[in-house]
Amino acid sequence: MSKIKIITDSASDIDVKTAEEYGICLLPFTVLIDGKEYTDGVDLTPDEFYEKMRTSSELPKTSQVKTEQFTECFEKLYAEGYTELIYISICSTGSSTYNNALKAKELFFNEHPDAKDKVNITVIDSFNYTFTYGYPAVEAAAKAARGCSADEITAFIEEWLCCAEVHFVSYTLEYVRKSGRISAGAAFMGELLGLKPIISIIDGESKVTDKVRGEKGIIPKITEIAKNNMIPQTPYILLEGSLPDESAALKKEITKAVGYPPERVVKIGPTIASHAGPKVIGIVLKGQRRR
């Protein structure tokens, strides 16, 4: 009988408690702020990180999950008797983490040629960020606990990722400018004119899909996107940062608009907040299949 372990990284924004509850192996990114390194999800809570961002004189930096972290993870799980290791990665175009996992897989089997008939390692590129791939990781772990096969689980993950979309607004544009989600000129003009860009990430490509003038238009616009893009009756997830009132208002509006509440409300962690900023609200949804 297969023994399956779901692996992902902390940019999935699965919190440590959830990872422990579902038995997910969560590999952390490293975040540097004010000259000090922190381990995402271990050293400080998202709220503590938001406060550090607020008072910091510099923008934080992140470091990919290293090959050695994957190698240690694969070695440990192999020793524990797991026969199917399924890793869901942060978008390969935004981080070298995916390639590091592939390299670690090759190194592992070079070191353990006898393991080729005993364990399978599947590395899946999510082509996205945050709970866009955190959601299928949690669901995959639940399916593994219910006795689903590795093939069934992998098919579910890939089907979700072929449909998944994230749409968000950062109330402070310096972070998305730094991350390349919008240009420096667009950020400057946005701040000058009071425009807030709606940023969508689909299949690894981020675009400014709309702009709203002033903060009052943000929640109606995200609600409109949810109604227009989401397959009816499919689960959706709300993303929040350091704006609890706006998050609560968004939850109320979208629940009213689509007729049912979100599957989860997820607080973005240090890795994602480093690039999107702490003042963020957004939605992860399942749209039409694209590939």
Query: pLDDT by residue (tens digit) across 168-183?
Result: 998 887 766 665 544 4
Residues 183 and 119 in one domain: no
The residue among 146, 161, 176 that closes a domain is: 161
In total, how many domains does the chain have? Answer: 2
Residues 126 and 217 in one domain: no
| Enclosing domain of residue 148 | 4-28+65-161
Residue 119 has pLDDT above 90, yes or no: yes
251 assigned to some structural domain:
yes
Helix axes 218-229, 244-258, angle to 10 degrees: 40
48 assigned to some structural domain:
no
Q: What is the pLDDT of residue 91?
A: 95
More confident residue, 94 or 187: 94
Residues 149 and 228 in one domain: no
Average pLDDT, integer, range 238-255: 97
More confident residue, 257 or 1: 257
Q: What is the pLDDT of residue 209?
A: 87
Residues 77 and 11 in one domain: yes
Residues 188 and 84 in one domain: no
280: CATH: 3.30.1180.10
The residue among 161, 178, 198 that closes a domain is: 161
Residues 191 and 275 in one domain: yes
Residues 264 and 141 in one domain: no
Percent of the chain residues topping a pLDDT of 90: 76
Residues 124 and 252 in one domain: no
Q: What is the pLDDT of residue 245?
A: 96
Mean pLDDT of all residues belonging to the chain: 91
Q: What is the pLDDT of residue 213?
A: 86
Average pLDDT, integer, range 120-136: 97
Q: What is the pLDDT of residue 181?
A: 45
Residue 68 has pLDDT above 60, yes or no: yes
51 assigned to some structural domain:
no
58 assigned to some structural domain:
no
Residues 147 and 16 in one domain: yes
Q: What is the pLDDT of residue 175?
A: 67
Residues 230 and 176 in one domain: yes
DSSP, res 41? T
